[in-house]
Structure 1
Amino acid sequence: MRPARTVSCLVSAALVLAVTGCGTDSPDSRGDDREGVANTSADTDRVEPAGDAPVDETVAGIRSFTGAFGELLAERGAGETENTVFSPLSLGYAFAMLRAGANGDTADQLDDVFGFPEGVHAAYNALSTGVVNTGDAEDQTGPDATREPDEQPPDPVVSIANGLFVQDGIEPGEDFLRTLARQYGAGAEYVDFSTGSAAEKINDWVSDRTDERIDTLFDELDPQTVTVLANAVYLKAGWESPFDESRTTDEPFHLADGTTTQVPMMNKEAAELNYVDGESWEAVQLPYVGGELAMWVVVPTGEPGQAPPVTAGMLEEFEHGEPAELDLALPRWDYGADAELLPLLAELGLSDLDDLGGIAENVVVDDAVHRANITVDESGTEAAAVTGIAGIVSAPAPADKTIRADQPFSYAITHEPTGAPLFVGSVADPG
């Protein structure tokens, strides 16, 4: 992976499902001339989102899953000593695609764990239209860039990509193919899993769709694999109001075990930001350019300890934040996290993944992987010159409140119009 070069950049090549033949012979190859050819047996034109798609119900399901999955990570101790990051939205997309081929108990468990309503595929299609911003990632420059005071920063870049990779010689179900093509924009790409070339092709797909932030999803795949579902979510955005880099200083961060470490701490003084508090936490909103995306930073209000998990209720409370004059201290961070999903999802009630007749006969889920990484610092994607603007204003009035993320804290990147959580994580040690 190349070094991160942006300030507020998140990527999730979030989920890959390796669906492997169960008790069947290896498929007959149709020859190398077919590999990489999109499936033509189903309508591959993506449809316009339905106006009555159940987006609100689908987002409620994503939020509920976010809380359950985050709490599970916390119970396992991952958030106490390790930084976490995952994309609820990307996980939702990948398993919604799986739902298109599921029947019986498998379908029921997917609905229960992810809160999929009737019409979920149309809802995810509509979410793509609402969340995605197809700006040019190359327009987004790093923190060393300069910008005139009256020059506007570029719009955020958000992309969501779905992929379907099929063993040459396998014919997935027509309804499954049609749903993925029409609602997710994923036409089947034929590969040869038996030779090892499929992993390289899928890794290239992931790298291309995450601006090379994630370049390896599989080192290798089981030669018996017949289908892979993949999703990638990529976000690149600048703060609406950047941090002044001259105010970043090395300060102590209080770890959960009672020790401290020195980290670069970014600072804002008397900034008007949306604020909300709960029983044992408080949160502040940091909007990105354009106003539709924001990061909520959540810090505990008691003694330093484990970061508070982001729950469904917390995500709902964010909608009721009120403006407040705040002093804010927030560290830079840059890390990634991987997860083997099957054992985690089994604890949430998703253990029956073998009734997938809508994809093909006698297939079961063999593997599910989630990878994500995040980089945060002062300026966003192109905001270094804007940092200088804050330095020329008059001295602000004293703030009503100070929030210091100098202990383990959580965060959530949300799409404000829908409330959908794109990325969620916790910072145990920003160093």
Structure 2
Amino acid sequence: MRRLLTALLTRAARPGTDPNMLVATGVRRKRPVAPPVAETVRGLAAFGHALFAQAAAPEANAVLSPLSIGYAFGMARAGAAAATAVQLDRVFGFPTRGPHTALNALTRRILTTGGSPPRSGRAVRTRPEPPVLAMASGLFTRQGLSVRPGFLHTLAAQYGTGVREVDFTRDAAQIIDAWAARETAGRITKVFDHLAPDTQLVLANAVYFKAGWEWPFTDPPERGAAFTRADGTVVRTDLMRRSGTVPYAAGPGWQAVELRYTGGELVMWVLLPEAGGSPVGLLAPEVMTRVAAELEERQVELALPRWDFSTRLDLLESLSALGLTGTDYSGIAEEIFLEQAIHRAAVTVDERGTEAAAVTALASAPTGPPPPPPKPVRVRADRPFAFAIVHRPTLMPLFIGQVADPVAKG
């Protein structure tokens, strides 16, 4: 069987692909025709909010990537047993027909590069031109595991990746960590806290984003401003300041501004609830849709803290609460059951721009111009707020999060 599997695979040749990955022989990544991208975006946006509401503590900073988690489980769906596949479609909002084609088309639409990102420091020291939005995926299997040819074909044709054999009794964790570090420009260097020696496979996805503001924060910062946390306590932090015309919207109990990155298609939405309000509700799809529809150019005086933190999520418990209880992925290989699902994400925002990265790993064992504003609007983020990094044309939320304490590194 090992000889047959080897005959079905060749080394990855696509630029930016891990050369150690073996992909299905003779299979090129497909270019989808008229796939249901909008339906996929709606599903992943709703999933992202539901997971965030389930997993994020109100008093803590948090960031996650609906794109990375959805993509990893999209790959897993290609090997899911029937009952598990039905649950995946319901939880992630995958299209009932052609989910892999839709994810293929979505990433082709929004990614800016097919290669690994350049290694970066923690601060956004330089502004890449154009912005970098990169993704990588891979299947790491124990030596000799017989992966089903149909699954390998889907990985190659729709996800542009393949399989790499590793030794889970020795250095597999280090190999996966090195892969994650390379694909996130050094932002995420550890994936699993522990991998059992009898692990059969790890299915992984990484997303990396870095972009400079179209209009950086150049006004003098406000030093030592008070930021009121959810529990009413106060911390002191500097607030970046910028005055000018930006897209702005407001609704019952909230304000929103859109901050554009260079290149035109990627933006950050800062979603500020009224004092005492919860940021999490502002990430709901119906609110995000309203924000997109109602943003209008306004003169805004914006004050915003810097933030720099990371999040680790053990996904299985939260996904089970959302309705994903099936763990049977025997369409990947014989008797494959999911026993770990880890998501790590990190984000840095400063005067120059934003850097964000995420890794998801699954392990298995046995409008028109507005009227002139009457006066500038003040948006002062001196209390917990939500943010979303969004691909504006499709409204795909790449990263969502909340800043509960800008001085905490968490």
TM-score calculated relative to the size of structure 1: 0.81
- 2:386 maps to which residue? 410
Are 2:85 and 1:107 equivalent residues in the alignment?
yes
Task: Kindly provide the CA deviation profile for residues 237-286 of structure 1, in whole angstroms up to 9, marking residues without a partner as x.
Answer: 000000016334321101111121111101112x2111222332221100
Q: Encode CA deviations 1:167-207: one digit per residue, 9 max, x unaligned.
A: 111111111111011111121111111x2311111111000
Residues 118-127 or 305-314, more deviating: 305-314
> Could you report, residue by residue, the CA deviation over 1:38-92 in whole angstroms, capped at 9, with x for unpaired residues?
446x346442421211111111111110221122135xxx1x2110100000011
CA contact (8 A) 2:118 2:185 kept: no
Structure 1 residues 44 and 223 mapped into 2: Cα distance closer, same or farther (>3 Å)?
farther
Distance 1:48 1:265, change over 3 A: same
The answer as to 2:199 corresponding to 1:212 is no
Question: Which residue of structure 2 lines up, in the alignment, with residue 346 of structure 1?
Answer: 320
Distance in 1 between residues matched to 2:316 and 2:128, nearest whole Å: 41
Task: Provide, for residues 137-167 of structure 1, a one-character-per-residue CA deviation record: whole Å limited to 9, x for no partner.
Answer: 559896666xxxxxx9621011011111111
Contact 1:105 1:352 in 2 (8 A): yes
Distance 2:285 2:319 in 1: 17
2:268 aligned residue: 295
**RMSD of the TM alignment (CA)?**
2.4
Among 111, 127, 133, which residue is 1:132 paired with? 111
Residue 381 of structure 1 and its aligned partner are, at CA, apart by 6.6
- Assess if the C-alpha contact under 8 Å between 2:119 and 2:186 holds in 1: no
Deviates more, 1:362-371 or 1:320-329: 320-329
Residues in 1 aligned to 2:73 and 2:242: alpha-carbon distance in whole angstroms: 40
Instruction: Specify the code of the residue in structure 2 equivalent to 1:174.
Output: P
1:275 corresponds to: 248
User: Which of 198, 201, 207 does residue 233 from structure 1 map onto?
Assistant: 207
Is 1:304 aligned to 2:276, yes or no?
A: yes
Question: Residue by residue, what CA displacement relative to the aligned partner does 1:282-304 show, whole Å, maximum 9, x if unpaired?
Answer: 21100100110000001112x23
Match of 2:94 in 1: 116
| Partner of residue 361, structure 2 | none
Contact conserved, 2:311 with 2:345, CA < 8 A, in 1?
Answer: yes
Secondary structure (helix, strand or coil) at the match of 2:42 reads helix
Change (3 A) 1:230 1:242: same
Change (3 A) 1:138 1:192: closer
Q: Does 1:70 align with 2:52?
A: yes
Secondary structure at 2:177 match in 1: helix
Distance of 1:414 and 1:197 partners within structure 2: 37
Aligned to 1:96, the other structure's residue is in SS state helix
Aligned mates of 1:130, 1:48 — CA distance in 2: 13
Q: CA deviation at 1:366?
A: 0.8
- Give the TM-score normalised by structure 2: 0.85
Structure 2 Cα separation of the partners of residues 153 and 364 of structure 1: 41
Contact 2:117/2:208 (CA < 8 Å) preserved in 1?
Answer: no
Q: Name 2:61's counterpart in structure 1.
A: 83
Deviation digits for residues 333-361 of structure 1, max 9, x if unmatched? 0000100000000000001112x221112
Change (3 A) 1:223 1:137: closer
Which residue of 2 is the match for residue 394 of structure 1?
Answer: none
Given candidates 273, 287, 295, the residue that maps to 1:314 is 287
- Give the whole-Å Cα distance in 1 for the aligned partners of 2:223 and 2:106: 40
Q: 1:398 to 1:136 in 2, by over 3 A?
A: farther
Displacement after TM superposition at 1:136 (Å) = 8.6
1:388-408 Cα deviation digits (max 9, x unpaired) = xxxxxxxxx984311111100
Q: Tell me if 1:252 matches 2:255.
A: no
User: 1 CA distance for matches of 2:119 and 2:172?
Assistant: 32
Corresponding residue pairs, total: 369
> Is the Cα–Cα contact under 8 Å of residues 300 and 308 in structure 1 kept in the other structure?
no
User: Identity across aligned pairs (percent)?
Assistant: 44
Whether contact under 8 Å (2:120, 2:186) holds in the other structure is no
**Structure-1 separation of matches of 2:208 and 2:165:** 25
Deviates most, 363-372 or 250-259: 250-259
Contact 2:125 2:352 in 1 (8 A): no
Distance (whole Å) between structure 2 residues aligned to residue 138 and residue 204 of structure 1: 14
Q: For 1:90 and 1:183, how far apart are their aligned partners in 2?
A: 15
Separation of aligned partners in 2, 1:126 and 1:58: 10
Relative distance call for 1:140 and 1:340 in structure 2 (3 A) is closer
The 8 Å contact of residues 113 and 350 in structure 1, kept in 2 or not, is answered as: yes
- What CA distance in whole angstroms lies between the structure 2 residues aligned with 1:418 and 1:44? 32
Alignment partner, residue 179 of structure 1: 154
| 1:49 match | 31
- Distance across 2 between alignment mates of 1:139 and 1:222: 30
| Inter-partner Cα distance in structure 2 for 1:160 and 1:136 | 8
1:325 equivalenced with 2:296 (yes/no): no
One of 127, 130, 134 as aligned partner of 1:159 = 134
Question: Which residue in the other structure is 1:425 paired with?
Answer: 401
**Amino acid corresponding to residue 127 of structure 1 in structure 2:** L
Any conservation in 2 of the 1:339–1:370 contact (CA below 8 Å)? yes
